[in-house]
Amino acid sequence: MTLSEDYRRREESVTLSAESPSEGETHELLTLNIGPHHPATHGVLRLLATLEGEIVRDVKPIVGYVHTGIEKTAEDKAYWKVIPVVERMDYLAYYFNAMAFCGAVETLLGIEVPPRAQYLRVIHLELNRIMSHLVWLGTSALDLGAVSMLWYSFRERESVLDLFEMSSGQRMHTRYIQVGGVIEDIPRGFADRVKQFCKEMTRRADQYADLLEQNQILIERLRDTGKVDKDELLALGVTGPLLRAAGVPWDLRKAQPYSSYDHFDFQIPVGTIGDNYDRFRVRHAEFYESTKIIEQALEGLPEGPFITPDRKVALPPRHELATSMEALIHHFKLVTEGFRVPPGEAYYPIEGPRGELGCFVRADGSAKPARVHMRDPSFTNLQAFPSMVRGGYIADLIATVAMLDPILGGIDR
């Protein structure tokens, strides 16, 4: 069935509403194509909406405009060379993509990650979560007409990217998380700057609340729009802030702790009815929780190695190459072929900024994965989008896309 046939079939199933239209209006359905190039779709998402007047009766999201074949490319690369490729899937959650993939490979290898590496991972993951939510906040507020919010949130994003650049040398797609740990220890002065940022961030988050939550226009546009109850969200497999906004306290950091998340004291923000306002509030509250986690992780940062001492997996330190023949051999084997992973399958889910981000890896005993698949939360969450916007106004559709926070790089991969 072609795309248009499928759409026509869906469109025919939509019936006009029972109540008669008001005077001067015609009673007919209109098909409106939004995207793939539309500034409010947060990427190259295409939405085919069937409208009756201003009411959205049905919507069909069409994806695939940034399909990059990342999963297929990953099958052709050695395990540690897959990391930069999977990082580019959900391009606002690069630490999370790398973490999910490395976690799956570590499960297959059965290696222990040193505690310092786990804490360093947590610090960077939470900084990344703040960064991702900042981009969401800026662009969403822009869609809702609060243009100046973009400048404020991108100012703080630059501060986070400075920290990333300090620890890894890159702003985006840092490839900091490595199989067995992290690629490098944090530089001197990094901890102080992160602490300073956390203090700053709490203050800034207060300011965002002052700017937005006192804003009548924003509240009117968010309250009671795009409402879906939790049973339907659970049935559709929705996770992350969208599910928590409907009142389900489901967070993999608490439900299934990984990378020492059980060492930290933090709360899971939940909403009540699951409308756009709750989604906004839940993500906003996560700014505070993430800063709390980062502060605790810096406070209790253990001493020790930052990557596993297993030389079969991790590169030997540079200075050993000049003195140790064995280190040279390990280095040569790792760089040319990579490490081999015993046959098996692993699924490693973590809590990304948008929900459950899981990586499935099947190993066949060679140095390249037989299959890499990501369960990307944006893709699953998009399934709930038609139920969110059906029966609402077309203007609320824009607000709902903004609060859905889809990242098309993650959806299409």
Partner 1 sequence: MEIKREPLSDFRVRQLQARDMLRGDLEPEELERYAEEAVMTTTVDRAVAWARGNSFFPLTFGLACCAIEMISLVGMRTDIARFGWEAFRATPRQADLIILSGRVSIKMAPVIRRIYDQMLEPKWAISMGACCSSMGVFNNYSLVPADKFMPIDVHVPGCPPRPEALIHGILRLRDMVQGHAPDGWRERYDAVGTEEVLPEADTETAAINVYQPGDTAGA
Q: Which residues bind partner 1 (CB under 8 A)?
A: 36-39, 43-44, 64-70, 72-73, 84-85, 88, 91-92, 135, 138-139, 150-151, 154-155, 157-158, 171-173, 408-409, 412
Question: Smaller CB distance to partner 1: residue 92 or 245?
Answer: 92
Shortest reach from residue 267's CB to partner 1, in Å? 29
Which residues are paired to 371 by β-bridges?
362
Question: Smaller CB distance to partner 1: residue 35 or 349?
Answer: 35
Shortest reach from residue 286's CB to partner 1, in Å? 19
* CA 26/CA 29 separation, integer angstroms: 9
Shortest reach from residue 91's CB to partner 1, in Å? 4
Question: Smaller CB distance to partner 1: residue 278 or 376?
Answer: 376
Question: Smaller CB distance to partner 1: residue 355 or 409?
Answer: 409
What DSSP string describes 61-112? Answer: EE--TT---HHHHHTTS-HHHHHHHHHTSSTT-HHHHHHHHHHHHHHHHTPP
Question: Smaller CB distance to partner 1: residue 67 or 199?
Answer: 67
Shortest reach from residue 72's CB to partner 1, in Å? 6
Shortest reach from residue 193's CB to partner 1, in Å? 16
Question: Smaller CB distance to partner 1: residue 46 or 284?
Answer: 46
Cβ distance 159 to 200 under 8 Å?
yes
* CA 129/CA 283 separation, integer angstroms: 10
Strands 344-352, 181-182: pairing kind: unpaired
Shortest reach from residue 250's CB to partner 1, in Å? 28
Question: Smaller CB distance to partner 1: residue 233 or 372?
Answer: 372
Shortest reach from residue 68's CB to partner 1, in Å? 5
> In sequence order, which ranges of 214-275 are alpha helices (DSSP H)?
216-222, 230-235, 241-245, 252-255
Phi-psi region of 189 (alpha: psi -120 to 50; beta: other; left: phi over 0): left
Q: What is the 3-state secondary structure (H, E, C) of 138-196?
A: HHHHHHCCCCHHHHHHHHHHHHHHHHHHHHHCCCCCCCCEECCEECCCCCCCHHHHHHH
Question: Smaller CB distance to partner 1: residue 45 or 236?
Answer: 45
Which residues are paired to 375 by β-bridges?
358
Shortest reach from residue 336's CB to partner 1, in Å? 19
* CA 401/CA 102 separation, integer angstroms: 31
Cβ distance 275 to 86 under 8 Å?
no
